[in-house]
Chains A and B, each alone.
Chain A
Amino acid sequence: MKVEVKKVHCVFSWSWHIPKNAGTIESGLGEDAIGDIHGMVHEDDEEDVCGICRASFNRTCPNCKFPGDGCPLVIGECQHNFHVHCIYEWLDTSTSRGLCPMCRQLFQLKKGVSINDSHIERFRELAIKRQQEQNEFESNLDDDAAIARAIAEQEDTGRNVDNQGDIIMDQDLVVR
């Protein structure tokens, strides 16, 4: 028998190589209620899906058309993977507080992983933004605590405190 090849159709398939232990790393947060709920989310997923958009890593995030290089994955230091667009969008909200949605640790791109390389700068900028908000939030807490202390003190000593938390002394000096 003689076989003559007339035409060749090339077909290929691909998938992201996702480390086996990805997503199963224990978080340092212990078995709180959030951990329990979190466990339920993934109990019977057959394929690896992005926790944020729930689409397979081999497909795109909801905003993209072309999988692969057009909508790549990133890996966190905590070993959690996401579509770069999904995790970026999450970290860009101030409610994220810069935390990984899976394990609630600070989300940082894992170092020494080539697929992360082109995103490192953008993620660093986001992290700085979140950190600033967090600092502001904490200093507001401190201010509130200071005002509460000043008011308590005023009740003790009869000194005046205005609503900025400044203590108005008898001599009309304002102490901040």
Chain B
Amino acid sequence: MSERRLLKEYQVVKKELGNHKNIISSLEPIDSDDLTNWTATILGPPNTPYHGHSFDLRIHLTPEYPLKPPQVTFSAYKMPHCNIEFKTGKICLNILDNANWSPVWNLLTVVLAIYQLLSDPVTDSPLNIDLSNILKIKDTSAYYGLIEYYLNNKSDK
């Protein structure tokens, strides 16, 4: 849409981000002159293998935003998760699809939904087949073990 919509977005984020301190440690434009490219850092939810780690997101708002969803990815080779492609950081989440997106959502709701995805992996639409298969057979210790292996070795790539 326009610069004015993006400015609103910026104000909403600044105002409401404090309410989500335990979830989102940062959400801001990469360059304050350009409100179309953002970064976010979310914290690993408690009671998941991600707890104690933090994860960076890149968010790009196309000129059609908010009529089309934002493009959000994790950093490549950083995020072992059923619904995230490890090589690219691509996220499979219904609200980020054109068909399910609604323009009443905003950057905060999107980032919160991605945080929720970390707690609730969906084995039906996997982008990481290995993790999904382990999760399907409910082998929790292998699941935790594999994710922790990835997370602790992520700096190698």
A residues within 8 Å of B by Cβ? 33-34, 37-38, 40-41, 44, 51-55, 62-63, 86, 89-90, 93, 95-97, 101-102, 104
Contacts and interface: CB of A to CB of B under 8 A. Distances in A.
B12 A54 contact: yes
Nearest to B2: A62
B105 A54 contact: no
A102 B113 CA distance: 17
Given A96-B67, A102-B104, 11 more contacts: A37-B95, A37-B105, A41-B106, A44-B16, A51-B104, A52-B103, A53-B1, A62-B2, A86-B103, A89-B1, A93-B67
A62 B16 CA distance: 22
A93 B99 CA distance: 11
B106 A89 contact: no
B68 to A, nearest CB: 7
Interface residues of B, number: 28
Contacts of B5: 53-55, 62
A93 B102 CA distance: 12
Contact of B95 (A34, A51, A55): A34
Contacts of A55: 4-5, 8
B109 A41 contact: yes
Given A54-B9, A54-B106, A62-B4, A95 B98 contact: yes
Interface in B1-36: 1-5, 8-9, 12, 16
Contacts of A51: 103-104
Contacts of B95: 34, 37
A41 B4 contact: no
